[in-house]
Amino acid sequence: MDTPLQHRRSGSMRIHFSDLIRPKQAAKYLARASTGLKLATVHEALARALGYRDWHELSITSHPNGLDAPDGLEAALLTILELADALGLPDGDVQYAVSRARLLRAKPWSIDEHMVLRASIWRRRVFGRPGRGKPGTVVRDKAYGSAAPAYLRYSGRPTYLFFDTGFGTRADFEVATPRAPLPDFVPSRIWLPYGVWKLTDESEVLFSRDYLPMWRISNDGTERLAPWLWIKDIAEEKHFGSPGTAIWASGPARDRAVAYLQRHRIFELPMLTDIMPHLFEPQVESLQDGVARLYAARRDAEAPPPYAELNDRVLA
C-alpha cells in the first residue's frame, strides 16, 4: 500500500510513505505554481511540512503499511498553510497541488471537502473571527423570508452582501447577525460551472455564470484555467440549466454540473475561487473586478496557452 500514515512525534506531525512517488509529484505541482521556485527549494520545504528535518531524511524513511491520515481535514489545513508560508505560494495553489498529488490521502478529497478546506483558509487568513458589522461574517438575509446565508461585504444603508449566487444589497434591518456563527461556505458563483464550450480542437472548457473559464478537458487530461483568459475558437456552447430558466445553482442544473465534474474526476476547486478575498476590497463591484485584482496579485502569471488570450474586458 502507498497510503501515508501520520502520527505525532516530539509535538509535530510526521507523515510516512512507502515510497517517494507522492511527495515527488506534490513537489512538481508546487514548483509549477511559480516560475521563481526551484525544485530543490520545494523539496526541502515539503519535507519539513511533512515532519522531516530535510528531503534526505524523508527519502530514507519509509513505512510499508500506511493508513489514511487520522487527523482529517484539520491536519491537511495545517500542512497547506505551512507550505504556502514556506514557499510564498497562494493557499489555493498549494491546496490544488497537495490534492492532485494525493499527498495526504489515497482517496481524493470530495468537492465538499475542498470547500470546507478553502472556507477554513479564508476564515483564518482573510476574515478572522466573525462579528456584527465585520466584513466576512456570515449573516442571515431576512428579506422576503428567505433566511439565506450571505457574506457581509460592507455594512450600512444599504448593506452589501455576497450570496451563494453573487452580489446583492439589503436594507440594514433586513440583515441579521446570529449569536452563534453560521458555517462558512464557498459561493456557487465562483466554483460551480454554468456551461461548457466545445472548441474546434475537440477539447471542452467549463465556464462560470459570469462566462469566466474554469477547467479545460482534452485528450491530454484536465487543467485548471486562469479566469482572466479569453477562450478562442469556440465551436459550441451548452448550459447545464434548461433553456429559458434562470435557475443554475440549485436543482437539476446544479446536479448536471456536479455530475459533469465527477464524470471527469474533477474534485478540486477552480482558480476562480481565489478571487474571494479580493471581493471584500474597496472599489470591487463585480466578479470581473475581483479577477483583475487577482491577476494583478499574480505577478508571475503564465503566458496564455494557444487556445486563449488575455481577456481585455476583464483586465481593462
Q: Evaluate whether residue 166 is within a structural domain.
A: yes
Domain containing residue 134: 128-176
Coil vs helix vs strand at 104: coil
Number of Cβ within a 10 Å radius of residue 239: 17
DSSP 8-state assignment for residue 121: H
Q: Evaluate whether residue 121 is within a structural domain.
A: no
Q: Which residues pair with 161 in a beta bridge?
A: 152, 168
- pLDDT score at 6: 43
Give the integer Cα–Cα distance in Å for 62 and 4: 10
- pLDDT score at 9: 36
162 with 133, same domain: the answer is yes
User: How far is Cα of residue 293 from the mean position of the Cα atoms in its chain?
Assistant: 16
76 with 148, same domain: the answer is no
256 with 152, same domain: the answer is no
- pLDDT < 50 regions, the chain: 1-11, 67-70
Q: What is the CA radius of gyration of the chain?
A: 21
Q: Evaluate whether residue 154 is within a structural domain.
A: yes
- pLDDT score at 64: 61
Q: CB–CB of 66/1 below 8 Å?
A: yes
- Mark which of 57, 79, 109 sits at the end of a domain: 109
Q: Evaluate whether residue 119 is within a structural domain.
A: no
- pLDDT score at 8: 38
The total of structural domains in the chain comes to 3
Q: CB–CB of 44/54 below 8 Å?
A: yes
- pLDDT score at 91: 96
Q: Residue 233: in which H helix or E strand, if any?
A: none
37 with 156, same domain: the answer is no
Q: Evaluate whether residue 115 is within a structural domain.
A: no
